Structure 1
Amino acid sequence: MPHPATKVLVIGYVWPEPRSSAAGGHVMQLLEAFLGQGWDITFSSPAKPGENRADLVGLGIREVPIELNNSSFDAFIAELAPDIVLFDQFMMEEQFGWRVEKHCPDALRVLETSDLQSLRHARHQRLKDRLKADEASQDFSDLFAPALREEFELMADTDLARREIAALFRCDLNLMVSEFEIELLVEHFKVPRELLLWCPLMLDLPIEPFATYEARANFLSIGNFRHAPNWDAVLWMKNAVWPLIRQRLPGAQLHLYGAYTPPKAAALHNPNQGFHIMNWAEDALQVMSAARICLAPLRFGAGIKGKLIEAMLCGTPSITTPVGAEAMHGGMPWPGVIAQSAEDIAAAAVQLYCDPARWTHAQQAGLALLNERFRRQVHGPALIDSLNACRADLPRRRRDNFTGSMLRHHQHKSTQYMSQWIEEKNRNS
């Protein structure tokens, strides 16, 4: 008699939009890995569906909307009885983790982090403080290479870090896209390495020949405008980087694509300066493949950057910062240039744009990097093996993670009572 299919419940902060963000793309890659095992998948979210959401039903994934602070979730999960529950972002673990534990105590609880939000927010605050103190400076080399200890001290006193790290401890396994963040968590936040799995973007390598140097033109930048690091990069390009590029290449054109373009971004559109706000790209890989250079001057952020992965998939060399390249190349040559100031970014962009030999070498470096670090055939099976091993050894793992059980005992009680109070208040209002 065949064994019943493993049941997986994914609780998403939003419904996945793989064409709007790298985080949405990573969630879809996880779902595809589960589908490849024949697992029975249900995706739930309290969010309203976005206009660019993926067609989960078409993939054979059940969709079930859920509500925050509503005991209807209890009946839903008790009936579903999943074997694995994946929380997409730590806020979903905060909201639903205690309900999962109460009604399905034997379910493996997994957190998909995408990036450490507390690290990203702390770096954003550091940038704000720096700009306030020295608004004119365009060299951020002192911000781009801090020691792990400095990053820890930047984060440690924030409520966001306390919440996020606690959620990591409470889960049985945490999926991390960044090796840098794993080392930060292990060395300074004392998260057991056993709780962390390096699970970067899982990709199929391109098989079609790349468009050549001669077949391409223009600079390109791409990214969700709602994501604060992307918006900051757009402003830095507009005010500092792009004017320097135009001084060297007066006819240069920059096309900026992004989902959910706000009026403040649309207002930056200026064809006379070669600065074009293009709104959402229906096919991001198509527009990336037509560009000669991808510009990603990120001054803060965390995780790994989907736009730079897309550039490699399209054979498009990129210019970025140490923050942009963080945890992506593992010491291998970067497929373009990593620079730390507006002047150096502009100089590198122009040089690479105008040098066919160097450009072709960077294109091939991107392919080598994808092959070495991001293959689906490597990371997909590693993910499944880790999940199965955790399920087989769950009692021992939870016993050894005493900090996690302690945090669940205290935090979930307070969350439970607050949620029940909100539900009762809503019922009586």
Structure 2
Amino acid sequence: MPGPDTDFKSLLVIGHQWPEPGATGAGVRMLWLLNGFLQKGFHIVFASATGSGDYRVDLGKLGIKEVEIQINDSSFDVFLQKNEFSHVLFDRFLTEEQFGWRVRDNLPGAQVLLDTEDLHSLRHSREDAVRRGGEWSVADWVADPMFYREVASMFRSDLTLIISKREMELLLSEVPYLQEKLIYLPFGMHQSALIPGVNFQGRSNFVFIGNGKHAPNRDAIAHLKTEIWPRIRQKLPEAVLQVYGAYLPTQTLQMDAPAEGFEVKGWAPELQPVLSNARLLLAPLRFGAGIKGKILKASVFGLPVMGTTIGFEGIIDEPRDLPFVADCVEHFAQKAVTLYTNAVEWERALAIQRQATEVHLNTSFDILSSALDTYAKRRDVLPKETRVIQNLLQNEAFGRLRYLSRWIEAKEKGKN
């Protein structure tokens, strides 16, 4: 079977969910990756075990074959045996855990890639800190059980794509043996050209955008409703905040209160009209990881963002002292009012943010393409310690996952 060092280019992408670029930042990232592989001449098959979402993109129109697969089912082995793939891409560590051992058993020559999208363990540990009302620390992250699962997945994979420089730094500070396995590949968006947009005077209203399935977004909306918006509204009694997002839960939809200037709109088929006419995007994210697609989208359409340190992480290195960043509720509201009412500060914030987001809006797929082309050299210089950990995790951890999966399959079939 062809391996990664031949001219044969066939990619299997195993997704935790089908891409929804019109609804999620992860969908935007995945579509960018898929188009990059297509431009490099790859034949692509996208497979997922989840049902179709409401905003699923038609990959068939791009020439990508779509295949539905099952977790804990040997039918996936049969599928792999009938097809040849030089590369396999997992869209997060969870899919690598579920299907990675089957890929290695049936496609031993394939190069295995992992796109973290964001560090799930980092986001999870920060959410726990918020829930318990404490300060987050790196020690919390390392103590989170998800940390070890995610890092193990990186060691088992040949290359791991990291979307944020800050996350790259955090990983290497705690697990330096991952050095040769990590590739920094910024967000990537198709609409990289900045749109001038309407000026300060021609815009009105505050806006929030975010997928309701994402816990940081649900928390941010609730935080806006109860803590931040009342403070802004007190200073600007005629102001309106419009909340947009796919999959907003009932609890969020019930927050709709037009009399208070808090309007929950739901999904917007096109974000350009929303972001081109609003005056300020609010992003009071209290936890999260990766790069926030809402900030990149706002920058494209000439809309500055009032956010938190977490929100701008990976985009601006030291954002704490900037006029558009605050973690304290009172300061957040005060700065938001200033940006909304002061044209000079508004323009200044937009200029800084557009410069900061440029690396993600103009990312070249050649970064990844080059890493794939030089994979053999990277593989040959892996430190001894990295090889030992990789082999250990592929054999021991995969053995556990393999037998657990087969046990579940046998149990399920025994019921029928």
Aligned length: 408
- Provide TM-score, normalisation by structure 2: 0.93
Q: 1:84-110 CA deviation, whole Å, 9 max, x = no partner?
A: 100011011111111111111111111
Any conservation in 2 of the 1:110–1:172 contact (CA below 8 Å)? yes
Q: How far has the Cα of 1:405 moved from its partner?
A: 1.4
1:300 and 1:331 map into 2 onto residues whose CA distance is: 17
Q: 1:130-164 CA deviation, whole Å, 9 max, x = no partner?
A: 17xxxxxxxxxxx4xx6xxx31x102233211211
Alignment of 1:198-347 (within 5 A): 198-203=184-189, 204-330=191-317, 337-347=324-334
1:250 and 1:50 map into 2 onto residues whose CA distance is: 39
Equivalent residue number for residue 112 of structure 1: 115
Confirm or deny that 1:402 pairs with 2:405: no
Q: How far has the Cα of 1:125 moved from its partner?
A: 0.8
Q: Aligned in 2, Cα 1:370/1:180: closer, same or farther, shift over 3 Å? A: closer
Q: How far has the Cα of 1:173 moved from its partner?
A: 0.7
2:323 and 2:107 map into 1 onto residues whose CA distance is: 48
1:340 and 1:159 map into 2 onto residues whose CA distance is: 27
Instruction: Say which of 378, 399, 406 aligns to 1:413.
Output: 399
Confirm or deny that 1:13 pairs with 2:55: no
1:56 and 1:403 map into 2 onto residues whose CA distance is: 37
Structure 2 SS opposite 1:401: helix
Q: Aligned in 2, Cα 1:383/1:332: closer, same or farther, shift over 3 Å? A: farther
Structure 1 SS opposite 2:374: helix
Any conservation in 2 of the 1:312–1:366 contact (CA below 8 Å)? yes
Alignment of 1:350-389 (within 5 A): 350-371=337-358, 373-376=359-362, 378-389=363-374
1:265 counterpart letter in structure 2: T
1:94 and 1:398 map into 2 onto residues whose CA distance is: 24
Any conservation in 2 of the 1:318–1:335 contact (CA below 8 Å)? no
Q: Aligned in 2, Cα 1:5/1:331: closer, same or farther, shift over 3 Å? A: farther
Q: 1:111-137 CA deviation, whole Å, 9 max, x = no partner?
A: 111111111111111111117xxxxxx
Equivalent residue number for residue 166 of structure 1: 152
Q: Aligned in 2, Cα 1:259/1:101: closer, same or farther, shift over 3 Å? A: same
Q: How far has the Cα of 1:276 moved from its partner?
A: 0.3
1:229 counterpart letter in structure 2: P
Any conservation in 2 of the 1:176–1:196 contact (CA below 8 Å)? yes
Q: Aligned in 2, Cα 1:125/1:199: closer, same or farther, shift over 3 Å? A: same
Equivalent residue number for residue 72 of structure 1: 75
Any conservation in 2 of the 1:172–1:397 contact (CA below 8 Å)? no
Structure 2 SS opposite 1:362: helix
1:28 and 1:354 map into 2 onto residues whose CA distance is: 37
Higher mean alpha-carbon deviation, 334-343 vs 233-242, is at 334-343
Any conservation in 1 of the 2:93–2:114 contact (CA below 8 Å)? yes
2:381 and 2:81 map into 1 onto residues whose CA distance is: 24
Q: Aligned in 2, Cα 1:111/1:275: closer, same or farther, shift over 3 Å? A: same
Any conservation in 1 of the 2:306–2:332 contact (CA below 8 Å)? yes
Alignment of 1:164-203 (within 5 A): 164-203=150-189
Any conservation in 1 of the 2:196–2:301 contact (CA below 8 Å)? no
Structure 2 SS opposite 1:337: coil
Q: Percent same amino acid among aligned pairs? A: 36
Q: How far has the Cα of 1:194 moved from its partner?
A: 1.2
Any conservation in 1 of the 2:172–2:178 contact (CA below 8 Å)? yes
Q: Aligned in 2, Cα 1:414/1:279: closer, same or farther, shift over 3 Å? A: same
Instruction: Say which of 120, 130, 138 aligns to 1:127.
Output: 130
Higher mean alpha-carbon deviation, 198-207 vs 226-235, is at 198-207
Q: Aligned in 2, Cα 1:410/1:15: closer, same or farther, shift over 3 Å? A: same
1:12 and 1:401 map into 2 onto residues whose CA distance is: 27
1:251 and 1:220 map into 2 onto residues whose CA distance is: 14
1:34 and 1:201 map into 2 onto residues whose CA distance is: 15
Any conservation in 2 of the 1:318–1:336 contact (CA below 8 Å)? no
Q: How far has the Cα of 1:375 moved from its partner?
A: 4.1
Q: How far has the Cα of 1:242 moved from its partner?
A: 0.4
Q: 1:194-242 CA deviation, whole Å, 9 max, x = no partner?
A: 1111111113432542211122110000101111111111111111100
Q: How far has the Cα of 1:391 moved from its partner?
A: 4.8
Any conservation in 2 of the 1:230–1:298 contact (CA below 8 Å)? yes
Confirm or deny that 1:47 pairs with 2:33: no
1:279 counterpart letter in structure 2: G
Any conservation in 2 of the 1:245–1:349 contact (CA below 8 Å)? yes
2:150 and 2:184 map into 1 onto residues whose CA distance is: 17
1:344 and 1:407 map into 2 onto residues whose CA distance is: 46
Any conservation in 2 of the 1:108–1:394 contact (CA below 8 Å)? no
1:388 counterpart letter in structure 2: D
Equivalent residue number for residue 3 of structure 2: none
Structure 2 gaps of 5+ residues are 1-5
